[in-house]
Amino acid sequence: MNTIKSVLIVEDDLIQLKLLTWIIKEILENAIVLSSDNGAEALSLALDNKPDLIITDWEMPKFDGPELVKRLKEDPATSKIPVIMCTYKNNDYETLNYAFECGVNDFICKPVDKNQMKARISSIMLLSESFRIINRQKEIIRSEKEKVELLLKKVLPENVANELKKYGIAKPALYTDVCVFISDIVGFTKMSSHIELTVLINELNEIFSFFDAVMKKNSCERIKTVGDAYFAVSGMQYKNGNHVENMVNAANEILDYLNERNRSRKIKWEIRVGIHLGDIVGGIIGADKFLFDIFGETVNITSRLEKKAKPMDIHISEKAFSTLNQYSYNSMNRIFLKGIGNITTYSGIRKTV
């Protein structure tokens, strides 16, 4: 009972109020005792002071004890305050049931016995503390669950994370008409051998963080990074009819960023970009450490387009380019891809308007 610092007594009979106050001060020597003789004032006192315990009479002016308890339990600010009801009413089933339905935590008949009141207070506060511990544990679990869900959505596409959360498993799926982006840093292996490891990691983190922000801004999403390679898609989860345009805009923004960055940095990075449009299969790889990956001919073609791209240029397939409006190109090419044949590609893609 050391946790009780304040008690609100609601009693319209002055003699009973004095008796209850004396009993409470005997039981809880250091507790502050607040008092009221009607339900309306008591409700206001409870809201203002948030007492640790409320002891109320049944019959009172303004509104009675059961109505007071109902209103206390309806307000989140006072709903957790334990309430003991004192009354001359008989302890019949209907009386007790009605009191408990209103939200009363315990019930004691007048005249109030000091030892009985002490036992009731001890019991109710122990129960209240147990509820507080349970609620704290629930809050910790809820908070940890939110962290896990947020982490899943950071490492997995949202629809895959939601499926995993709902069913405990996310099956591989076919995604049609998806725009795939793959970039690779030119001469990365040679450059990285001359750069301190921590500096290299910081450089990649800064660059890829910018890539992530640009992709998100243009309704695209990163799938993964593999060393210095960056994989992203548009139109996998959400179709808006502009997913190739969104990806090309993101690619150009990334190239502009690197060009500007290279003017003021000692370490200068250049990338090649490949973009293609088609169907892909996506799914989670691994059981203990989740990794979402994409597969299929579309990914394979995009990778080969990237490898044939010039430094700081976008190399896009005809299939993807044909969906664009008001975009120009520097060159049109015919290239041979083993297993695919000759395809038309475009380089130097820029919006004309």
3-class secondary structure for 159-171? HHHHHHHHHCCCC
CA 145 and chain centroid, separation: 9
Candidates 209, 208, 203; CA nearest to 191 is 203
226 strand-pairing partners: 229
Are 283 and 292 in contact, with CB atoms under 8 Å apart? yes
CB atoms within 10 A of CB 43: 22
Cα-Cα-Cα-Cα dihedral sign, residues 220, 225, 226, 229: positive
Residue with tokens 């660059």: 207
- What is the predicted pLDDT for the residue at 310? 95
Q: Where are the domains of the chain?
A: 6-138, 169-351
DSSP state, residue 62: S
Report how far residue 101's alpha carbon sits from residue 236's, in angstroms, rounded to the nearest whole number.
52
pLDDT, averaged per 10 consecutive residues of the chain (353 residues), comes to 79 89 85 91 93 90 88 91 83 79 87 84 80 85 82 74 76 92 95 92 95 96 93 90 94 97 94 97 79 92 95 96 93 90 93 81
DSSP state, residue 89: S
Candidates 123, 234, 117; CA nearest to 179 is 234
The hierarchical CATH code for the domain 6-138 is 3.40.50.2300
How is residue 336 written in tokens?
């041979």
Residue 203's SS3 state is helix
- The string of pLDDT tens digits covering residues 290-336 is 788 999 999 999 999 999 999 999 999 999 999 999 999 999 999 99
Candidates 345, 346, 317, 351; CA nearest to 178 is 317
Candidates 335, 309, 268, 38; CA nearest to 182 is 309
For 80: left if phi > 0, alpha if psi spans -120 to 50, otherwise beta; the answer is alpha
Q: Is the pTM of this model over 0.85?
A: no
Residue 79's SS3 state is coil
Candidates 79, 123, 121; CA nearest to 103 is 79
- What is the predicted pLDDT for the residue at 3? 67
Report how far residue 117's alpha carbon sits from residue 107's, in angstroms, rounded to the nearest whole number.
10
Using alpha carbons, list the distances in angstroms from residue 63 to 53, 98, 302. Answer: 19, 16, 75
DSSP state, residue 156: S
Q: What share of the chain is helix, strand, coil (3-state, %, to 5)?
A: 45, 25, 30
DSSP state, residue 42: H
Using alpha carbons, list the distances in angstroms from residue 170 to 158, 235, 258, 288, 292. Answer: 11, 19, 36, 14, 10
The residue ranges of DSSP E strands in the chain, in sequence order, are 6-10, 32-36, 53-57, 83-87, 106-109, 173-185, 221-226, 229-234, 271-285, 291-295, 313-317, 327-328, 331-337, 341-347, 350-351
Architecture label for domain 169-351: 2-Layer Sandwich (3.30)
- What is the predicted pLDDT for the residue at 163? 78
